[in-house]
Amino acid sequence: MPDQQDVASLYAKASTRRALWKAAIKWPMYSVAVMPALLAAGWLVGAGEAVRLDQLLGFLVAAVLLLLWENLSNDLFDADTGVDSFTKLHSVVALLGQRRPVRRFAHLALVLGLLLMLVLALRSSAAVLFLVLVSCGLGYLYQGPPFRWGYIGLGEPLCWLAFGPFATAAALLALAPLNSDGSVIPWATAFTLGSGPALATTLVLFCSHFHQVAEDAAFGKRSPVVRLGTARAAALVPWILSLVFALEWIPVLQGDWPLTALLGGLGLPAGAALIRLLRHHHDQPEKIRGSKFLALRFQALNGLGLSLGLALAPYLGFAMSSAG
């Protein structure tokens, strides 16, 4: 029979493996996938339009599937370059010890996500599928060969474009009432509505680089944090947060959005905590490993607050301009 030390060792290994799988699943990260649809729903309710709930549910599921494809594909691409060999023990490829099942599951998630988006497009506007395909293409450019634009520091602009105007425009079209004109892509509204929340999503990606600067540099991944250094990169975070709020509050000051849109400020405490953490520990990887989760909390609370604020406006007697 195994002695107590052997049993304790087995429990420790099992506990560690469960923790690694929990980190690999990254379920909180999927708030970035669902945010464009939630924002579009909030906007439409605030404008007095009826949201098609079946379309909303379908879009949320499809968006999660497509982000799952993106995450699994990134694990595969990083395994090819070796950049995650030392710092990402929770990579799905590392946990399974083989790439084929990861590749198959990633492809399945992509196919299911796109098929569901096709159904949504057929029930609303063909432009929905086009916009989603562009977003997926931008996601592939980030890590996928032969491009790997994330390795030259372009991951953040790609992220903003994918989760901002393109995903937001797709959601606005997919959720719009049946009698709306689906032939016109609502670019103005998509840019106004999606710019701030997409920048918050981009901040999550930006903060994910801090704890692995040395490894990224060693494998030729020139992320913005590698290029700037951790001190200057950390000093940028307050400006990024300020720009998020500026993009969301300027429409309020202009009278286009109701005062309730200021509920996006719910993310402010998480943003302030992120600033403090990076200011004091930007060059200490073990202490800032969770910085991306603080950024994620900011992103989630900010986006949910904005969506809820827009949706509550007509019930609280606030008017919202129909112009984007």
Report the C-alpha gap between 133 and 118 in whole angstroms. 10
Mean pLDDT, residues 275-303: 92
Q: Is the pLDDT of residue 95 over 70?
A: no
Report the C-alpha gap between 227 and 218 in whole angstroms. 13
What pLDDT is attached to residue 285? 84
**What's the pLDDT tens digit per position in 196-222?**
999 999 999 999 988 888 888 888 888
Q: Residue 14: pLDDT band by 50, 70, 90 thresholds?
A: very low
Which run of H or E residues covers position 18? helix 4-25
Q: Is the pLDDT of residue 11 over 50?
A: no
What pLDDT is attached to residue 20? 56
Q: Is the pLDDT of residue 22 over 50?
A: yes
Q: Are 245 and 298 in contact (CB under 8 A)?
A: no
Mean pLDDT, residues 5-11: 39
**What's the pLDDT tens digit per position in 30-84?**
899 999 999 999 999 999 898 999 999 999 999 999 999 998 888 787 777 765 5
What pLDDT is attached to residue 135? 97
Q: Is the pLDDT of residue 122 over 90?
A: yes
Question: Please, how many CA atoms are within 13 Å of residue 104, restricted to the half-sphere of its CB?
Answer: 5
Q: Residue 97: pLDDT band by 50, 70, 90 thresholds?
A: low
Instruction: State the alpha helices, DSSP H only, in the chain.
Output: 4-25, 31-46, 53-81, 92-96, 100-122, 126-143, 155-161, 167-175, 187-207, 213-218, 224-228, 230-253, 268-281, 285-288, 291-312
87, amino acid identity: T
Report the C-alpha gap between 117 and 24 in whole angstroms. 25
Report the C-alpha gap between 314 and 150 in whole angstroms. 42
State how far Cα 284 lies from the chain centre.
Answer: 25
Report the C-alpha gap between 306 and 264 in whole angstroms. 4
Report the C-alpha gap between 59 and 200 in whole angstroms. 21
Within a 10 A sphere around the Cβ of 283, how many other Cβ atoms?
A: 14
What pLDDT is attached to residue 8? 40
Q: Are 30 and 62 in contact (CB under 8 A)?
A: no
Judging by beta carbons within 10 Å of its beta carbon (0-12, 13-18, 19+), is residue 145 exposed, middle or buried? exposed
Q: Residue 13: pLDDT band by 50, 70, 90 thresholds?
A: very low
Report the C-alpha gap between 4 and 217 in whole angstroms. 44
Report the C-alpha gap between 251 and 192 in whole angstroms. 8
Which run of H or E residues covers position 149? none
User: Quick one: CA dihedral 90, 91, 92, 93, positive or negative?
Assistant: negative
Report the C-alpha gap between 165 and 194 in whole angstroms. 6
Q: Are 165 and 187 in contact (CB under 8 A)?
A: yes
Q: What is the CA radius of gyration of the chain?
A: 21
What pLDDT is attached to residue 5? 46
State how far Cα 163 lies from the chain centre.
Answer: 7
Q: Are 179 and 45 in contact (CB under 8 A)?
A: no
Reduced to 3 states (helix: H, G, I; strand: E, B; else coil), residue 268 is helix
The encoded tokens of residue 130 equal 């086009």
Q: Is the pLDDT of residue 298 over 60?
A: yes
